[in-house]
Amino acid sequence: MANGKLSLLRVVQKTLEAMGSDEVSSISDSVEAEQVAQLAEDAYYELLNMKEWPFLVKLTQLESVADSARPTYLKLPDAVVRIEQVKYDWTEAATPEIVDIREACWLSPQAFLNRTQSRNTELDNVEVVTSTNGIRFPIYTDQRAQWWTSFDDEYVVFDAYNNTEESTMQGSKSQVIAKCLPTFELVDDFTPDATANFFQTWLAEVKRTAFIYFRQEVSPVDEAKARRGLAVLRRDASRTNQDDGRVKFGRPSRSGTDARRRDYYHT
């Protein structure tokens, strides 16, 4: 492709060509083509697990829970593996022209509980909430949230909301910058959402793996290309992506065919 990006079909075709196999016009044309496509999926997730790739960071939203017993709960989308920033739109219905979008700061569960559990529960603007795992903590019912945490890697929990504007917090009002793990699709025209230099490394890794898997031999050319591509990808990865308390979700990655989907670091 002109922009340097490759569809799954093109990666499969190039790999089969390198091995001297029969040509295909679809990944479903032969068993070998389908197997190469599976190798391409595995290689894709392996590469994603190797580094903090900037192209995985997206602007997205949380999902509504609409639970009156837990009005400050919002749900994490399945694709999110790490949250970097959370904002919420507190714009009041009476004055929509005055936009009020504010960031809530992350606290560890322990720090979140230490702060909220010190609140005076006799006040009219304080409501006691019980978390999904049985922890009780007070929230303010007439303020903008200052902090958020997660007790279970499934829900984002805020320390306050404004019950004069909404009965529960709404996912559509959230603005989240997060690292999202895309879903790989085993279809001909699937083209990963990645930077152009990612594709040549992906192709080289698929070829390298295919030679070992099908031919039980090493392709020196593709081995060298894969090494060079990984070096470039590591060099070009964001240098500002440091571990600064942002929350990571998922499980540690494993090598092989299971290293995919939500297999990311967890803290």
The 3-state secondary structure of the chain, one letter per residue: CCCCCCCHHHHHHHHHHHHCCCCCCCCCCCHHHHHHHHHHHHHHHHHHHHCCCHHHEEEECCEECCCCCCCCEEECCCCEEEEEEEEEECCCCCCCCCCCEEEEEECCHHHHHHHHCCCCCCCCCEEEEECCCCCEEEEECECCCCEEECCCCCEEEECECECCCCCCCCHHHEEEEEEECCCCCCCCCCCCCCCHHHHHHHHHHHHHHHHHHHHCCCCHHHHHHHHHHHHHHHHHCCCCCCCCCCEECCCCCCCCCCCCCCCCCCC
pLDDT tier at 195, thresholds 50, 70, 90 = confident
How confident is the model over 29-40, as a mean pLDDT? 96
Q: Which residue has the higher pLDDT, 221 or 38?
A: 38
Beta-bridged to residue 63, according to DSSP, are 75
pLDDT of residue 29: 97
pLDDT of residue 217: 57
pLDDT of residue 48: 86
215-229 pLDDT per residue, tens:
875 555 445 545 545
107-153 pLDDT per residue, tens:
999 999 999 999 999 999 999 999 988 999 999 999 999 999 999 99
Query: Which range among 3-12, 50-59, 249-258 has the greatest average pLDDT?
Result: 3-12
Mean of the per-residue pLDDT values of the chain: 84
pLDDT at 264 over 90: no
pLDDT tier at 248, thresholds 50, 70, 90 = low
CA–CA distance, 194 with 55 (Å, rounded to integer): 6
How confident is the model over 194-213, as a mean pLDDT? 88
pLDDT at 179 over 80: yes
pLDDT tier at 263, thresholds 50, 70, 90 = very low
pLDDT of residue 188: 97
CB-based contact 8:187 (threshold 8 Å): yes
pTM exceeding 0.95: no
How confident is the model over 22-46, as a mean pLDDT? 95
pLDDT tier at 241, thresholds 50, 70, 90 = very low
- Which stretch of 7-16, 64-73, 149-158, 255-264 has the lowest confidence by average pLDDT? 255-264
Buried-state track 244-264, b at ≥16 Cβ within 10 A, e below 16: eebbebbeebeeeeebbbebb
Percent of the chain surpassing pLDDT 90: 65
pLDDT of residue 216: 76
